[in-house]
């Protein structure tokens, strides 16, 4: 009897060990494991940590098998012990007493206590247990393979995907680390915005950051270089698309540096005689759906800094430059031709701004650190046209999801300026309350 009770406590100890091991393993971040792997000299330890890093499911399966085994064995043993204490024919009573007592002991000593301890001392618990669990995993590998195969079979029947090891680190992990780092002062808000912008490059299309067709500054191919120089001086750009007949037929791109080179080599007189088409470069066309991270690689590969964006019918949608891509990550870049801090967003107070309708919604979100309601449009003007379902008049207002919009300037065909206010007021319950005439 004494040996059986002693063995029962040994089983409870194993239960505590396996529960603590499970919590320690799941509490260790992959970055921490990678750091431990790089800092460890022992090849044996490296092998164990490598398993925990790249095959955590295998170790967790081992822990679950062993923990369930010792818990079931402990419950069965406790039932036998209670049966010996009770008169014969009281099996039901013995089972009830055993279940109640073992539930209490397993919860307190086999689950709650070791898991709380391992949460607080995750690294210490990990080092104590991982070698043993790894060795047990090796011994039980045939059983683990069988159980995982059966599990995957039923998962596929139910329409799911088979169990796979998770990636080393996900984008959400990186975003979470950056968010916590900003809150704790480890990184600056601007640094977080830059890193977030870099991660979003693979999801952002060129359409979202392009200069739209109506704002493009283009040159006709038969214009003289003298006229082209005047446009360069007025606009301050270094590259211009060149068209034939209409803007939908872009035939080249002219560089301001080539005009200056021609002026230096051939003199002032030649500028009035030479035409733009004589020194233009071939255009670089891209679809509007192209992601900006892929476009950046194309720019590097083709040694160009400007791309013309076309729609599915071959019409010109707009243009995008390498500066537009950099600004997606770094924020607005002001050069000597930009007028002051003209980003299109003018701060009036902590929660009130005057915004140009052409400003992309992504820029507003990044600059004001807010989340806009979902929309298919890229600019503030497009978003408001979608909401109003018409071109609103000056003075009209709208409140949506804690944001208040008031039209300050508009023409017959487009919105120009908007007063944007961040409020805490709830959205009106009736659609007719969204609009009112100012």
Specify the residue for token string 């392009």. Answer: 210
Residue 353 confidence (pLDDT) above 70: yes
DSSP per-residue string spanning 190-248: HHHHHHHHHHGGGT-BHHHHPEEGGG---EETTSBHHHHHHHHHHH--SEEEEEESEEE
Residue 247 confidence (pLDDT) above 90: yes
Nearest to 37 by CA among 26, 21, 48: 48
Exposure string of 127-154, with b = 16+ CB inside 10 Å and e = fewer, is eebbeebbebbeebeeebeeeeeeeeee
Distance CA 82, CA 14 (A): 21
Rounded to the nearest 5°, which phi and psi values hold at 281?
Answer: -100, 160
- What the chain holds in terms of domains, given with CATH numbers, is 2-157 (no CATH), 202-330 (3.10.580.10), 345-436 (3.30.465.10)
Residue 253 confidence (pLDDT) above 90: yes
The region that residue 401 occupies, defined by phi over 0 for left and psi between -120 and 50 for alpha, beta otherwise, is left
Radius of gyration of the chain (CA): 34
pLDDT of amino acid 149: 84
39 burial (CB, 10 Å; 0-12 / 13-18 / 19+) is exposed
Distance CA 265, CA 59 (A): 73
Predicted confidence (pLDDT) per residue in 18-59, tens digit: 998 889 888 887 778 888 888 777 777 788 888 788 788 888
Q: How far apart are the first and last CA of the chain?
A: 89
Residue 290 confidence (pLDDT) above 60: yes
pLDDT of amino acid 264: 85
Over residues 5-15, the mean pLDDT reads 88
Distance CA 275, CA 44 (A): 73
Specify the residue for token string 């759906």. Answer: 289
Band of the pLDDT at 438, cuts 50, 70, 90? very low
Contact 396, 410 (CB under 8 A): no
pLDDT of amino acid 223: 93
Nearest to 74 by CA among 19, 137, 135, 148: 19
Predicted confidence (pLDDT) per residue in 414-432, tens digit: 888 999 998 854 444 444 4
Band of the pLDDT at 304, cuts 50, 70, 90? very high
Q: Kindly tell me the number of DSSP H helices and DSSP E strands found in the chain.
A: 17, 13
Comparing 27 with 310, the larger pLDDT belongs to 310
Band of the pLDDT at 162, cuts 50, 70, 90? low
Four-point Cα dihedral 225, 226, 232, 235, nearest 10: -120
Q: Mean pLDDT of all residues in the chain?
A: 83
Comparing 13 with 344, the larger pLDDT belongs to 13
Predicted confidence (pLDDT) per residue in 194-209, tens digit: 888 888 888 888 988 8
pLDDT of amino acid 254: 95
Band of the pLDDT at 181, cuts 50, 70, 90? confident
Distance CA 145, CA 131 (A): 20
The region that residue 323 occupies, defined by phi over 0 for left and psi between -120 and 50 for alpha, beta otherwise, is alpha
Pairing label, strands 211-212, 219-220: unpaired
Comparing 393 with 434, the larger pLDDT belongs to 393
pLDDT of amino acid 195: 83
The continuous run of DSSP H or E covering 15 comes out as helix 2-27
pLDDT of amino acid 351: 87
Over residues 308-322, the mean pLDDT reads 91
Residue 252 confidence (pLDDT) above 90: yes
Band of the pLDDT at 101, cuts 50, 70, 90? confident
Three-class DSSP category at 164: coil
Contact 400, 393 (CB under 8 A): no
pLDDT of amino acid 297: 93
Residue 242 confidence (pLDDT) above 90: yes
Specify the residue for token string 């944001």. Answer: 403
Nearest to 382 by CA among 391, 395, 393, 369: 391
Residue 409 confidence (pLDDT) above 80: yes
Distance CA 261, CA 274 (A): 13
The residues near 26 (Cβ < 8 Å, ≥ 6 apart) are 56, 60
């Amino acid at each position: 009897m004494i040996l059986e009770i002693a063995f029962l406590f040994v089983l409870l100890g194993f239960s505590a060990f396996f529960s603590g091991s499970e919590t320690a393993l799941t509490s260790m971040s992959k970055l921490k494991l990678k750091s431990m792997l790089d800092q460890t000299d022992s090849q044996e330890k490296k092998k164990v940590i490598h398993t925990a890093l790249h095959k955590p499911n295998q170790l967790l399966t081992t822990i679950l098998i062993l923990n369930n085994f010792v818990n079931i064995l402990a419950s069965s043993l406790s039932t036998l012990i209670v049966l010996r204490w009770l008169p014969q024919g009281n099996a039901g009573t013995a089972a009830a007493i055993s279940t109640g007592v073992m539930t209490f002991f397993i919860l307190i000593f086999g689950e709650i206590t070791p898991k709380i301890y391992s949460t607080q001392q995750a690294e210490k618990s990990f080092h104590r247990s991982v070698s043993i669990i790894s060795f047990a995993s090796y011994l039980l590998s045939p059983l683990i393979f069988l159980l995982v195969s059966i599990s995957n079979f039923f998962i596929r029947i139910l329409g799911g995907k088979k169990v796979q090891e998770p990636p080393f680190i996900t984008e959400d992990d990186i975003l979470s680390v950056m968010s916590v780092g900003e809150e704790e002062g480890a990184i600056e808000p601007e640094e977080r915005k830059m890193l977030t912008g870099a991660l979003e490059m693979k999801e952002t299309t060129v359409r979202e950051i392009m200069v739209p067709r109506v704002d493009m500054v283009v040159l006709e191919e038969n214009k003289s270089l003298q006229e082209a120089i005047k446009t360069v001086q007025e606009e301050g750009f270094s590259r211009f698309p060149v068209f034939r007949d209409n803007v939908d037929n872009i035939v080249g791109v002219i560089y301001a540096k080539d005009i200056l080179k021609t002026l230096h080599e051939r003199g002032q007189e030649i500028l009035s005689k030479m035409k733009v088409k004589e020194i233009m470069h071939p255009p670089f066309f891209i679809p509007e759906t192209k992601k900006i991270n892929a476009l950046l690689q194309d720019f590097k590969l083709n040694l160009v800094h400007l791309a013309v964006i076309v729609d599915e019918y071959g019409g010109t949608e707009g243009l995008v430059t390498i500066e537009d891509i950099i600004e997606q990550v770094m924020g607005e870049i002001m050069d000597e031709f930009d007028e002051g801090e003209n980003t299109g967003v003018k701060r009036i107070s902590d929660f009130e701004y005057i915004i140009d309708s052409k400003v992309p919604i992504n820029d507003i979100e990044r600059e004001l650190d807010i989340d806009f309601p979902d929309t298919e449009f890229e600019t503030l003007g497009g978003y408001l046209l979608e909401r109003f379902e018409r071109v609103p008049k000056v003075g009209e207002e709208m409140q949506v999801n804690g944001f208040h919009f008031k039209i300050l300037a508009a023409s017959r065909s487009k919105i120009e300026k908007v007063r944007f206010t961040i409020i805490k007021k709830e959205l009106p319950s009736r659609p007719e309350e969204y609009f009112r005439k100012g």
